């Protein structure tokens, strides 16, 4: 058999383990130095196992020729029994024994090509070394696997990790990297620092380093010398296979420490998960407490209905409310969205790490926050409605108060001096005609008094309405009204008594001048009409619509149409005075120019009539100004409606689009996340439209505009829609991120995720994002999940419902559905795995010591365990012993960790 055949042996066998080294063979020839090293190393390796059977070999190519020790070697290293060997000394006996050994090797999955028992029996050194290397590969190196690498790569990575902290050591291969002996010393010191003082070693003394390592390994670690230090230092490139064989002995010697490292890594991973979960829990509690406290502080202000009962005071409160909506609430909306996002992320991480769901402290559940937030929004709406109704009420009050004052001023001006006049005894010194004149004058006064009865009743009615509407200065209004009513009663009594006195003296009186009497009778109602007209022309009014102001304009036009008849009446009355003057002048009647029946004069009527004629165009101007104001209000209504009718449908379209993406059927999760973030940017970019609408809305409110027939949208509905849109985008982004987290951590493919989402959406007919129990069961069946229709099937289904709906809400959401479809088939850490890991670190003891934790774990992880592990109370406990079993169980159960 040639050297090319030797290459075939290695190529076939090393498939899946390592590639043949080009340095090992050059042009089919084995380097003599390597052959020497292999012979020494392989012999020592074989003897390290044969000594367990009480034997050894001296010459590797001679001592295996009869096959007996070869079979014995295989039995020792495999722990199995080979077929009984042939004891004869003939060549065919030897070949039979070697074949039994080769058949056993082949039965272990090793492919031997072009190698036969004859070469071994004939003492072929190269073939014998190749066979022993095959055995070493299969039984000493094959099972070495680090991070899913091949055996050679795994062994090399193990060496690199163990020697990484040591100076002057850089393991890159299995020849030159071990030549100076420091790598061997580092491996020993890493696992047994008590055997070698690494700080005293030097790279300049390779022979001393090699001898130190080989001596310590043989004496204390029971690893025989398999390499020769002189050969290592004098050879340009030591044999790779010899060094790998020797290094594998180190690996198996320290395999217990390797298990401890693996256990420590698992524990660190579990503890880091718990520490991160605790951080998220603390963050949630802090945010929830802060938000709930803010809501608690805000609610009394929104629920308060106290004001100073003045229009200015309510307007100040409305401005405070606008500031609250613009500045104080938006950060809390973002805080609420962040709180929900953090809660969902935490629950997803807990599910993925096989931890129980997080239950916030009492009063801080997501539902508690949602209820508090809903109460806040309800109070906001009620508060704003109260403010607007108060403004309307107080505006009405101010108008009534001014009207009361105006009418009271006119009435008190009219009554001034009337009591003194009625109490006068002037008629007792009058002549007959003067007495008759006094009586007629009194009759005219009675007529005037009756005419004023309506004004007094109006004043009393206005005062009563001010009381009903709780006018802030009702006390002074009531006092003045009572004074007017009391005076009115006194005037009635005085008038009746004076009339009786005049009647008593009537028998000595003659008739009073007809012209004066006519003037008095006609002038009084005309004067009263003039007073009423002047009062109406300066009467204050309040309107809110174009229809109302148009009604006032129409009424004013109708009034102006009556001015012609009034002018005729005025001229007719004035002509009576002129006739009196003519008569007095003609007949020289003493005192005849004085009208004994009335205090009114033509001058009074002329003055008042002139005032009325001047007030008419002034009233025209006032009504036109109000018309322009209402036209401006109408323009504001149209501006708000035009903008609101754009913003409202835009918000609804965005909400529909976000909901559609949230259904999860529009591309990959990354595509959905990208689109959602684009929508988020678009929504924030659209915010100036909302702010512009807020400015128009403020102008609308300042214009006292309370209704708008041009749009169905109000500022409140648009604000709520805007906040709901932001919340929906944030919630959907969080859900997609959690689905990505679930997919990546569980190893779900995009096709699987699409299948899960498609099935879920198929049964989510109403697009609510959740399934009722019957819909959920149908969805599971459609995905091939077997749920029997018998009693056991119902029990199984109830168990599943308890997993996906732990709070018994009656619905299954997509996140819980996705978690269920992936979690049971996925390898997750369990309490039992963590307990096994701690048991390895503790050397199989039922407890662990603080020093052991500090030696095996990083400092922060070790202290985390020491602070939280309860003392061990079992038998044979030593001082400081810690109970790692109950600690591990608590990591996965109900606990405050």
pLDDT for position 829: 67
Confidence bin at 16 (pLDDT 50/70/90): very low
Between 85-89, 220-224, 641-645, 702-706, the lowest mean confidence (pLDDT) is in 702-706
Is residue 301 scored above 80 in pLDDT? Answer: yes
Q: How confident is the model at residue 591 (pLDDT cuts 50, 70, 90)?
A: low
Give me the mean pLDDT over the 675-685 stretch. 90
Q: What is the pLDDT of residue 439?
A: 82
Q: How confident is the model at residue 429 (pLDDT cuts 50, 70, 90)?
A: low
- In the block, which residue shows the tokens 């012999």? 43
**pLDDT(500) > 90:** no
What is residue 22's predicted lDDT score, i.e. its pLDDT? Answer: 38
With a cut of 60, say whether residue 199 has pLDDT above it. Answer: yes
pLDDT of res. 323: 92
Q: Please compute the mean of the pLDDT values over residues 341-357 and round it to a whole number.
A: 87
Average pLDDT of the segment spanning 90-105: 91
Question: pTM to 2 decimals?
Answer: 0.52
Q: Name 435's Cβ contacts closer than 8 Å, sequence gap at least 6.
A: 427, 502, 505, 506, 508, 509
- Residue 663 contacts residue 761 (beta carbons within 8 Å): yes
Instruction: State the pLDDT confidence band at 148, using cuts at 50, 70 and 90.
Output: low
* Banded pLDDT at 756 (limits 50, 70, 90): confident
Q: What percent of the chain has pLDDT over 70?
A: 91
367-375 long-range contacts, CB within 8 A, separation 24+: 368/292, 369/288, 369/291, 369/292, 369/336, 369/339, 372/291, 372/292, 372/295, 373/295, 373/336, 375/295, 375/299
- Name the DSSP letter for residue 742: H
pLDDT band for position 404 (cuts 50, 70, 90): confident
738 contact partners, CB below 8 Å, separation of at least 6 = 344, 345, 348, 815
The tens digit of pLDDT for each residue in 768-824 reads 888 898 888 888 887 777 777 788 888 878 888 888 888 888 889 887 877 777 765
| Average pLDDT along the chain | 84
Over range 218-226, report the average pLDDT. 91
Mean pLDDT confidence for 164-193: 93
Per-residue 3-state assignment (H helix, E strand, C coil) for 589-652: CCCCCCCCCCCCCHHHHHHHHHHHHHHHHHHHHHHHHHHHHHHHHHHHHHHHHHHHHHHHHHHH
Would the pLDDT of 745 be above 80?
A: no
| For the ranges 171-175, 307-311, 556-560, 607-611, the one whose mean pLDDT is highest | 171-175
- CB half-sphere exposure, 579, CA atoms < 13 A: 13
The per-residue pLDDT for 26 is 36
Confidence at residue 584, expressed as pLDDT on a 0 to 100 scale: 67
What pLDDT band is residue 23 in, cutting at 50, 70 and 90?
very low
For the residues 436-448, what does the mean pLDDT come to?
85
Query: Does the structure show a pLDDT above 70 at 507?
Result: no
């Amino acid at each position: 058999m040639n050297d090319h055949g030797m290459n075939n042996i290695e190529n076939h066998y090393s498939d899946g383990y390592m590639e043949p080294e080009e340095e090992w063979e050059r042009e089919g020839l084995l380097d003599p130095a390597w052959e020497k090293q292999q012979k020494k190393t392989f012999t020592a390796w074989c003897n390290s196992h044969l000594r367990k059977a009480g034997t050894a070999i001296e010459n590797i190519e001679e001592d295996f020729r009869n096959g007996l020790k070869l079979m014995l070697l295989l039995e020792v290293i495999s722990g199995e029994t080979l077929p009984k060997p042939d004891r004869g000394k003939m060549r065919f006996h030897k070949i039979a024994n070697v074949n039994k050994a080769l058949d056993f090797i082949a039965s272990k999955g090793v492919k031997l090509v072009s190698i036969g028992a004859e070469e071994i029996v004939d003492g072929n050194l190269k073939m014998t070394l190749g066979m022993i290397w095959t055995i070493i590969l299969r039984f000493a190196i094959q099972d070495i696997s680090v991070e899913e690498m091949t055996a050679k790569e795994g062994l090399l990575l193990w060496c690199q990790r163990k020697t990484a902290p040591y100076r002057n050591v850089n393991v890159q291969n299995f020849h030159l990297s071990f030549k100076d002996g420091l790598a061997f010393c580092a491996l020993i010191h890493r696992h047994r620092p008590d055997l070698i003082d690494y700080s005293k070693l030097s790279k300049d003394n390779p022979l001393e380093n090699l001898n130190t390592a080989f001596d310590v390994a043989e004496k204390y670690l029971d690893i025989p010398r398999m390499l020769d230090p002189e050969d290592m230092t004098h050879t340009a490139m030591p044999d790779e296979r010899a060094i790998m064989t020797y290094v594998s002995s180190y690996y198996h010697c320290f395999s217990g420490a390797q298990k401890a490292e693996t256990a420590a890594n698992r524990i660190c991973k579990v503890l880091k998960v718990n520490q991160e979960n605790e951080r998220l829990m603390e963050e949630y509690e802090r945010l929830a407490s802060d938000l709930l406290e803010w809501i608690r502080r805000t609610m009394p202000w929104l629920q308060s209905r106290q004001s100073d009962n003045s229009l200015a005071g309510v307007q100040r409160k409305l401005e405070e409310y606008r500031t609250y909506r613009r500045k104080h609430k938006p950060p809390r909306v973002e805080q609420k969205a962040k709180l929900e996002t953090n809660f969902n992320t935490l629950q997803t991480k807990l599910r993925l790490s096989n931890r129980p769901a997080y239950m916030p402290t009492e009063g801080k559940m997501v539902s508690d926050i949602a209820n508090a937030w809903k109460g806040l929004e309800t109070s906001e709406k009620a508060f704003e409605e109260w403010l607007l109704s108060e403004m309307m009420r107080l505006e009405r009050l101010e108008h009534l108060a001014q009207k009361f004052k105006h009418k009271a001023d006119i009435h008190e001006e009219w009554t001034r001096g009337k009591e003194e006049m009625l109490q006068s005894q002037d008629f007792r010194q009058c002549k007959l005609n003067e007495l008759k004149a006094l009586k007629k004058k009194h009759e005219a006064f009675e007529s005037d008094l009756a005419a004023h009865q309506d004004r007094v009743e109006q004043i009393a009615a206005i005062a009563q309405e001010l009381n009903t509407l709780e006018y802030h200065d009702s006390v002074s209004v009531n006092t003045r009204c009572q004074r007017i009513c009391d005076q009115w009663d006194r005037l009635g009594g005085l008038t009746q008594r004076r009339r009786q006195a005049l009647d008593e003296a009537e028998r000595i009186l003659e008739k009073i001048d007809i012209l004066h009497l006519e003037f008095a009778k006609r002038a009084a109602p005309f004067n009263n009409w003039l007073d009423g007209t002047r009062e109406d022309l300066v009467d204050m009014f309040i309107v809110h619509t174009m229809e109302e102001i148009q009604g006032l304009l129409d009424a004013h036009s109708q009034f102006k149409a009556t001015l012609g008849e009034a002018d005729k009446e005025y001229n007719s009355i004035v002509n009576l005075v002129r006739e009196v003057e003519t008569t007095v002048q003609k007949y020289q009647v003493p005192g005849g120019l004085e009208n004994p029946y009335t205090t009114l004069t033509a001058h009074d009527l002329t003055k008042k009539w002139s005032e009325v004629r001047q007030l008419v165009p002034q009233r025209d101007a006032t009504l036109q100004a109000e018309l322009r104001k209402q036209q401006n209000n109408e323009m504001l209504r149209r501006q708000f409606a035009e903008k609101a009718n754009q913003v409202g449908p835009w918000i609804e379209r965005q909400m529909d689009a976000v909901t559609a993406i949230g259904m999860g059927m529009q591309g990959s999760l990354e595509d959905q996340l990208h689109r959602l973030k684009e929508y988020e940017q678009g929504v924030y970019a659209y915010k100036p439209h909302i702010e512009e609408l807020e400015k128009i809305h403020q102008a609308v409110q300042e214009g006292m505009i309370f209704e708008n027939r041009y749009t169905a949208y109000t500022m409140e509905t648009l604000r709520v829609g805007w906040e709901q849109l932001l919340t929906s985008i944030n919630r959907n982004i969080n859900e997609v991120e959690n689905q990505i987290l679930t997919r990546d951590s569980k190893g779900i493919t995009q096709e699987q995720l699409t299948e899960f989402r498609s099935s879920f959406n198929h049964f989510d007919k109403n697009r609510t994002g959740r399934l009722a129990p019957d819909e959920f069961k149908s969805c599971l069946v459609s995905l091939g999940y077997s749920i029997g229709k018998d009693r056991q099937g119902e029990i199984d289904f109830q168990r599943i419902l308890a997993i996906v709906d732990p709070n018994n809400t009656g619905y299954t959401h997509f996140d819980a559905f996705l978690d269920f479809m992936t979690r049971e088939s996925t390898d997750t850490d369990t309490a039992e795995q963590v307990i096994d890991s701690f048991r390895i670190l503790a050397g199989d003891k039922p407890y662990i010591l603080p020093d052991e934790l500090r030696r095996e774990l990083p400092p922060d992880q070790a202290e985390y365990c020491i602070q939280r592990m309860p003392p061990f109370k079992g038998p044979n406990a030593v001082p400081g012993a810690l109970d790692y079993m109950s600690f591990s169980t608590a990591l996965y159960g109900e606990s405050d960790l």
